[in-house]
Chain A
């Protein structure tokens, strides 16, 4: 359970682009969580500029970030990274800092002392980023489970009461 101090700001931030297939995953998870979380949790649908993320994280005690990722894992695979202490592995290497990636944005926040004390990143392995395409079946199938998992992590009491 996340033992946040009373009044401490907790954030859920979904990243991505809803018009790029599986890249919508982070945004859809954030939207699904919006009505399920306690009122002290602020939910953002972040855009596709991770540099803006640094500003959004400012002042938060804890943050959960959800993003689609390209990589080796099978599509739909959900991975949890605790980046509170250690850097997010460079899932997507880039030489273009005009397009600051999520790992770089988190490290910039850390250098600036703006990274929340607790910071968790969930990635969903994507299959298809084609413009205008829907979620791929494996990613669509993975999202309800991820929403439940995040709801439980953010508000375990309510979820266990609901299960009873």
Chain B
């Protein structure tokens, strides 16, 4: 700290346990946090430009490559948008299978984040390797959950990372009935593990900090939002996916190659487990709702640290739903419905594990993609993450740099930020004088 002007700058040059690469800069002036900047330096990933000129059928496989941990989310938002553009109606058994695949991704992603990335923060370990020495059974439970999610992805998607079986109109190939039945026992065990997860994380100590977030999530009749729904917010927004652009915008900031999502009125907002849960608590199934109640979580949760409990509750929901889908599924005659190209624009919104994921495609008459827009959850959450840090870090300024850095990292990890998903676009402006 500078003795003369009370200025202190904390830099976390490499943020561990988040996907991709990022750094964080907090500037303190006169004893107060002046600014927090989440600085992303992973090279931007130009997926939107890469899609231009490609056929619509390629979009699910190209966009799946944006993220290794939530490829299904990208596939699902892509096919939903393109199917809307091409006026394709997806039969209920195909939709059910897609939701099952998505449940697998939630189980895999939440299992990974809760146990290997987030829990070490609460228990005072550098990471999962150190935590595993003292909490062997818990880490084994987390790995087993992740493996079960992987298994769902392999059965339905052809492989556990970057699945290849989703197509516009349905799937390339349906899983055999016996392959689906083989998922039942692991999913039953995963559901028990998920309940145990909620009990375990509910016992952690949480900082007493709540924020007045503007929650934004999907909402659908009679179901917890995963693969479809209208966009709703805690301030009363209620729109279909095709009106996303009217209310939300991405803007470039100097310190990051990832765009920042905001409402058009400039307000930041929050997507992800806290928003989904708080806007859809009444749509949880009884088992997950009971788990929330037993964990002492009310119908709305505004403490970002408690997002680890919400992820546990969503694990319960995803396992429960996956089992019900398998039990009730009736095999359709064909794995996909016919799709015909036409000139149109389509919009898709689904709930990635980290939150709302919006895709928009403009298609030419021959089915080639003229324009694509992809707004990932971490882009939308970045202004909120920075605001959290600006507020919370004021209480930590008495700490030495190392423990302060650790607190800040934990605050960022509350959002399970997928930085590699967020750095997907860069507008290039060349001044040629």
Interface residues, chain A, with chain B CB atoms under 8 Å away: 47-49, 51-52, 54-55, 95-100, 104, 107-108, 111-113
Contact = CB atoms under 8 A, between A and B. Distances in A.
A57 to B, nearest CB: 11
Nearest to A107: B129
B146 interface: yes
A47 B129 contact: no
Contacts of B144: 55
A52 to B, nearest CB: 6
B336 interface: no
10 contacts: A47-B160, A48-B161, A51-B146, A96-B18, A98-B418, A100-B116, A108-B129, A111-B129, A111-B132, A112-B136
Interface of B: 14-21, 68-69, 112, 116-117, 127-133, 136, 139-140, 143-144, 146-147, 150, 159-161, 418, 420
A112 B16 contact: no
Contacts of B116: 51, 97, 100
Contacts of A48: 161
Contacts of A108: 128-129, 132, 139
Nearest to A113: B136
Contacts of A96: 18-21, 420
Contacts of A111: 129-133, 136, 139
A97 B143 contact: no
A113 B136 CA distance: 8
A111 B143 CA distance: 13
B143 A54 contact: yes
Given A47-B161, A52-B147, A55-B147, A112 B68 contact: no
A49 B117 contact: no
Contacts of B112: 51, 98
B49 to A, nearest CB: 19
A131 to B, nearest CB: 10
Given A52-B147, A107-B129, A112-B136, A97 B160 contact: no
B132 A49 contact: no
Nearest to A17: B161
Nearest to B67: A98
List of 5 A-B pairs having minimum Cβ-Cβ separation, nearest first: A111-B132, A98-B19, A98-B69, A111-B133, A107-B129
Contacts of B146: 51
Contacts of A95: 14-16, 21
A107 B132 CA distance: 10
A92 to B, nearest CB: 14
A97 B139 contact: no
Given A95-B21, A96-B21, A49 B420 contact: no
A137 B181 CA distance: 45
B355 to A, nearest CB: 16
A149 B81 CA distance: 53
A107 to B, nearest CB: 5
B16 to A, nearest CB: 6
A97 B117 contact: yes
B127 A97 contact: yes
Nearest to B22: A95
Residue from A55, A96, A99 having most chain B Cβ neighbours under 10 A: A96
A45 to B, nearest CB: 12
A60 to B, nearest CB: 16
Contacts of B136: 111-113
Contact of A52 (B69, B128, B150): B150
Nearest to A54: B143
Contacts of B69: 98
B68 A99 contact: yes
Contacts of B150: 49, 52
A32 B25 CA distance: 51
A107 B130 CA distance: 9
Nearest to B15: A95
A112 B140 contact: yes
A49 B68 CA distance: 10
Nearest to B113: A98
Nearest to A97: B17
Contacts of B147: 52, 55
Contacts of A100: 116
Given A55-B143, A97-B127, A111-B130, 11 more contacts: A47-B160, A48-B161, A49-B160, A96-B18, A96-B19, A96-B420, A97-B116, A97-B117, A108-B128, A111-B131, A112-B136
